[in-house]
Amino acid sequence: MRMACTVLSLIALTSSGWAQVDPNDVGHGCQVCHLTGVKECKAHPSSLAEAETEVLYCSVASSCKDCSGALLVDCKKCSGGPGNIEMETRQLRSKRFKDSPTPAEELFERELVRVVTAHFDIIIDCEEIKDGSRKMSAHEVAHALATEAEKAAALLDEQFDAKLHHYSRRSRIWFWGDPKDHLLVNQKVLGTNDGGAFKLFGPDPAYSAWTKERGLENEGMLIVSNGVHIGVHLLLSNLFQNQWIGNFKAGWFDVGAAHYYENQRFQQVTTYCIDEADANLDYEDGRWHVPVRKYLTKNKESLLPNLLSKISGTMWDEEHALAWSLYDWVATVHPEALKPLLLGYKERKETRDLFKQHLGMTIQQVEEAWRTWVFDTYPVKNPKPRKKL
Ligand SMILES: [Zn+2]
Ligand SMILES: [Zn+2]
Ligand SMILES: [Zn+2]
Ligand SMILES: [Zn+2]
């Protein structure tokens, strides 16, 4: 208690509202705390230790009576040290998130398992989730999704030369164990009577789904993979400009990107964004290197004129794989073209003009270059998919 008061007296709030302990006033720590003034809070599961420090906020960690989500506690053997600055910053950030509940938390009048990262605001509200032979808690699933989605977003940011301020808001991703809660949140917060998995694109992007939805099956790997895939759709819909391009003739880019980042993380694709209830797509087990190569060998006629005219919701089976592969080619061979292509599509420009301008090729030339690249680089055996989160 004594330390808490001492430290609080050192805090000054900056104009941005962040805590700042005056660096001239902190102590030097002691041998016990390795001269930091703080020690790791032991009240958190060690399996999540790294994951906790990677996120901006975790509702479970912030409920810790010992550290209030800072993950650090005062060293009892000394009067503080430089680590107190980090501790205070984390405490105040945690408090700021905790004090501003989301509309979903207000709706249910309870605190939900919520993890916030640079790009995403994740809620997982359910009982245990399967992960192979073990069970995962909602808290573990939230962190697994946070880690994977942030890794996908980091790659995307690098390829698009995107910074956080190029996004309008964090993308919200929610999974509910009770279909009634899912429907209620869809109605009251997202404003739709759609009881299925629902995506809201544009300025305040969101995705809400039931964990036992077909294709998710209450399985950790499927839920996290799905969250990463949809997360990419949400990011692209509010990156640089608030505009979803999946409804234009740019479905290949929107769908291809979502599959591409999902596949980068899991070496397998499990999500197909088809809204029709009876759609049950599963092309070649979502492992596409070998099937695409075979498909291109068998189908020698031009495929791109048809593929490039599709919107996201009307693509079927092999078109998903072809879109993935074409995006894979651009992202690997011409990554600098990704940003201008996205911006061009958002401005409703035609593919043939965009290809000419940013790839220096006609559609026919792109088809030839892409096919040659696939034959030259795709492996003869599919890479092994990830088995565990
Ligand atoms: Zn100490
Ligand atoms: Zn946590
Ligand atoms: Zn703690
Ligand atoms: Zn999709």
Per-residue pLDDT reduced to its tens digit, 10-23 = 444 444 444 456 66
- Residue 144 CA, ligand 2 centroid: distance in Å: 10
Give the residue from 52, 45, 82, 81 showing the smallest Cα distance to 69: 52
Distance separating alpha carbons of residues 246 and 296, to the nearest angstrom: 24
Distance separating alpha carbons of residues 338 and 342, to the nearest angstrom: 6
CB-CB contact of 239 with 167 (8 Å): yes
Ligand closest in space to the Cα of 65: 3
- Residue 89 CA, ligand 1 centroid: distance in Å: 19
- Residue 29 CA, ligand 2 centroid: distance in Å: 27
Give the residue from 198, 178, 177 showing the smallest Cα distance to 186: 198
- Domain extent listing, the chain: 2-98, 112-377
- Residue 106 CA, ligand 3 centroid: distance in Å: 25
Task: Give percent above pLDDT 70 in the chain.
Answer: 92
Domain 112-377 belongs to what topology?
Neutral Protease; domain 2 (1.10.390)
Backbone angles phi, psi at 115, to 5 degrees: -125, 130
- Residue 15 CA, ligand 1 centroid: distance in Å: 30
- Residue 40 CA, ligand 1 centroid: distance in Å: 12
CB-CB contact of 333 with 372 (8 Å): no
- Residue 293 CA, ligand 3 centroid: distance in Å: 51
pLDDT on residue 6: 38
Report every protein residue that has its C-beta within 5 angstroms of ion ligand 4.
258, 273
Report helix, strand or coil for 114. Answer: strand
In tens, the pLDDT along 219-250 reads 999 999 999 999 999 999 999 999 999 999 99
- Residue 65 CA, ligand 3 centroid: distance in Å: 6
pLDDT on residue 161: 97
DSSP count for the chain of H helices, then E strands: 15, 12
- Residue 262 CA, ligand 4 centroid: distance in Å: 10
Length of the chain: 389
- Residue 49 CA, ligand 2 centroid: distance in Å: 9
- Residue 134 CA, ligand 3 centroid: distance in Å: 25
Tell me the two tokens of residue 22: 């005056």
pLDDT on residue 295: 97
Ligand closest in space to the Cα of 27: 1
pLDDT(46) > 80 = yes
Tell me the two tokens of residue 78: 């000394």
pLDDT on residue 282: 80
- Residue 256 CA, ligand 4 centroid: distance in Å: 8
pLDDT on residue 313: 85
- Residue 124 CA, ligand 2 centroid: distance in Å: 11
pLDDT range class, residue 314, cuts 50, 70, 90: confident
Q: What is the mean pLDDT of the chain?
A: 91
Backbone angles phi, psi at 186, to 5 degrees: -60, -45
Distance separating alpha carbons of residues 252 and 263, to the nearest angstrom: 16
Distance separating alpha carbons of residues 207 and 196, to the nearest angstrom: 11
- Residue 257 CA, ligand 3 centroid: distance in Å: 38
pLDDT range class, residue 9, cuts 50, 70, 90: very low
Ligand closest in space to the Cα of 56: 2
- Residue 46 CA, ligand 1 centroid: distance in Å: 22
Predicted TM-score (pTM) of the model is 0.91
pLDDT(7) > 50 = no
DSSP 20-71: EE-TTT-----TTTTTSSEEE-TTS-GGGHHHHHHSSEEHHHHT-TTTTT-S
pLDDT range class, residue 120, cuts 50, 70, 90: very high
Tell me the two tokens of residue 172: 């919200």
Helix (H) or strand (E) holding 229: helix 220-238
- Residue 358 CA, ligand 4 centroid: distance in Å: 25
Residue 277: alpha-carbon gap to chain centroid: 25
Distance separating alpha carbons of residues 316 and 74, to the nearest angstrom: 57
Ligand closest in space to the Cα of 141: 2
- Residue 211 CA, ligand 3 centroid: distance in Å: 29
- Listed in sequence order, the residues at least 6 apart from 365 whose beta carbon sits closer than 8 Å to its beta carbon are none
In tens, the pLDDT along 322-355 reads 999 999 999 999 999 999 999 999 999 999 999 9
pLDDT on residue 359: 98
Task: Give percent above pLDDT 90 in the chain.
Answer: 83
User: Does the CA dihedral 136-138-144-148 come out positive or negative?
Assistant: positive
- Residue 219 CA, ligand 3 centroid: distance in Å: 29
- Residue 86 CA, ligand 1 centroid: distance in Å: 15
